[in-house]
Amino acid sequence: MPRIAPDEGRTGYDLIGFDAGGDERRDDPSGVMSDLTLRTLADDATGITDVFVVSHGWMGDLPASKAQYDAWLTAMGSCGADLARAAQQRPGFKPHVVGIHWPSLPWGDESFGGGGSFAVPVDGPADPVAALVDDYASRIVDTPKAREALQRIVSAAVEDVDPDQLSPEVVQAYRELNWEADLGAAGATPAADRSGFDPQGIYESLKEDAPSFGLFGGGGVLGVLRTLSFWRMKDRARAFGEAAGSKLLAKMMQAAPRHLRFHLVGHSFGCIVMAATLGGPRGRGRVAQPVESLSLLQGALSLWSFCDDIPGVPGQRGYFRQVIADGRVRGPIVSTQSAFDTATGKWYPLGAGVARQVAFAAPGELPKYGAIGTHGVRGPGVTATDLSLVKPDRDYAFAPGGVYNLEGSEVICNGSGVSGAHSDICHPEVAHAVWQAALTTV
């Protein structure tokens, strides 16, 4: 992976890529990118003081993640007042950015056009059914039984993409696929934040709220596949963060002969990557030193992830509870929310198998299944402060160790399709919040 050169209004950054097995890619002519990063951090002559580790969400390929990082770092570079404050607060302040690219396939069917037709496009695959089976097998689970179930589901969609209800055969195929994917409700990992899997109920919810989900009721028969794919990517994010992410952070912390300040920034499933990087294997690992800030932008992980005791599930702790309990973030934890984020507001609870309970709970109550990108960081043991996203000329006065939920619907509001405004984060207001979090501790 390359070292990206600075551009007008944007700092340069290291882009470290990993394959589906969590191993770093080694196809760059310059060598292994992490080696270059570690040598840079170990060299006193570079003058680096702060390291920002950034993780994308469901981007899929390298060009897409690079495009997001370019846009995000341009927004960071637009915050002149924050940069001036950093220079004043920490003379010699010099940040170094490390972007991570991990294998996170998108969960829509963008490659198959905008309609519900299965006609073969001129430049498309000769057999779109086989292509969809291959596609979702790579996203969810690739076993003979899973492929057989996928074949039945996709074939049913070819016959009728938008039936009144799923046939018993398709419901059974979905249940077999869910079983093969091992996405049951037991446990507390990010992928286990689910109720009993109800494909018929999910399908009916997609049809009832079709305008919120885009084309043919959120994918027609294939809409339920999207929820399974959504959940599989959550689990991949956890596994990647616990293994490759935590190892990379440890190596960077150990490489420098001096004290460097580390800041973690995640978007979407990248928030799981960053939390798992701090948590380590099964959330019980260790870090060489606390990081200075953790920013969770439109997080696609449970609102109960960091709490001591999940409401309604006695004795069940949030999977990333130790991040707060052990003081692994010396500065603030900051999260953003938006009412226009369809990915966390609609797809997340549907992926949890909630079906007709998308309305969550009574007014004013929090749902059993909901995402930080919609509801913030919540639960017993979490003392959170609710604020609104502010203009870059205003200060937040974040406190070290505090948790802050920033309502950003006035800013994070642009977007269409199945994800809504989920990726609309490249704004000065959002970047300002990340800067303010990073500059809280001295």
Please answer whether residues 226 and 108 qualify as being in contact, where contact means their C-beta atoms are separated by less than 8 angstroms: yes
CA angle 294, 351, 363 (to 5 degrees): 80
pLDDT given for residue 308 in this prediction: 94
Q: Specify the residue for token string 């294997």.
A: 281
CB 227 within 8 A of CB 186: no
- Quick one: which of 248, 246, 251 has its CA closest to 286? 246
Whose structure tokens read 């599989």? Answer: 232
Which 3 state secondary structure label does DSSP give 56? coil
Among 323, 439, 341, 328, which Cα is nearest to 76's? Answer: 439
Q: pLDDT at position 104, please?
A: 83
Strand ordering across the sheet containing 293-297: 3-4, 13-17, 95-101, 50-55, 261-267, 293-297, 333-337, 403-407, 384-388
pLDDT score of 213: 45
How far apart are alpha carbons 281 and 250 in whole angstroms? 13
| CA–CA dist 29, 33 (Å, integer) | 10
Locate 231 and state its tokens: 């959940």
Per-residue pLDDT of the chain (442 residues; tens, 9 = 90+): 578 999 988 999 999 999 888 899 887 766 799 999 999 999 999 999 999 999 999 766 788 889 999 999 999 999 999 999 999 999 999 999 999 999 886 544 433 333 333 333 445 556 888 999 998 898 889 999 999 999 999 999 999 988 999 999 999 999 999 889 876 543 346 655 666 788 898 888 877 765 444 433 456 888 888 878 877 888 889 999 999 999 999 999 999 877 899 999 999 999 999 999 999 988 788 888 999 999 999 999 999 999 999 887 888 899 999 999 999 999 999 999 999 999 899 878 776 654 333 333 455 678 888 999 999 999 999 999 999 999 999 999 999 999 999 999 999 999 987 789 999 999 999 999 999 999 998 7
| Domain range summary for the chain, segments of one domain joined by + | 3-105+235-438, 110-226
CATH topology of domain 3-105+235-438: Rossmann fold (3.40.50)
Task: List CB contacts of 438: < 8 A, sequence separation 6 or more.
Answer: 50, 52, 86, 261, 263, 292, 293, 331
Torsional class of 430: left (φ above 0), alpha (ψ -120 to 50), beta (otherwise): alpha
Question: Which amino acid, 153?
Answer: I
Residue type, position 186, single letter = A
What pLDDT shows up at residue 348? 81
Q: Cβ atoms within 10 A of the Cβ of 93, count?
A: 17
Q: Assess contact for 429 and 408: CB atoms under 8 A.
A: yes
Report strand pairing: 3-4 vs 13-17: antiparallel
Q: What pLDDT does residue 60 have?
A: 66
pLDDT at 284: 81
Predicted pLDDT at 122: 44
- How many CA atoms does the CB half-sphere of 29 hold within 13 Å? 0
| pLDDT confidence of residue 133 | 94
| CA dist., res. 333 & res. 403, Å (int) | 5
pLDDT at 341: 96
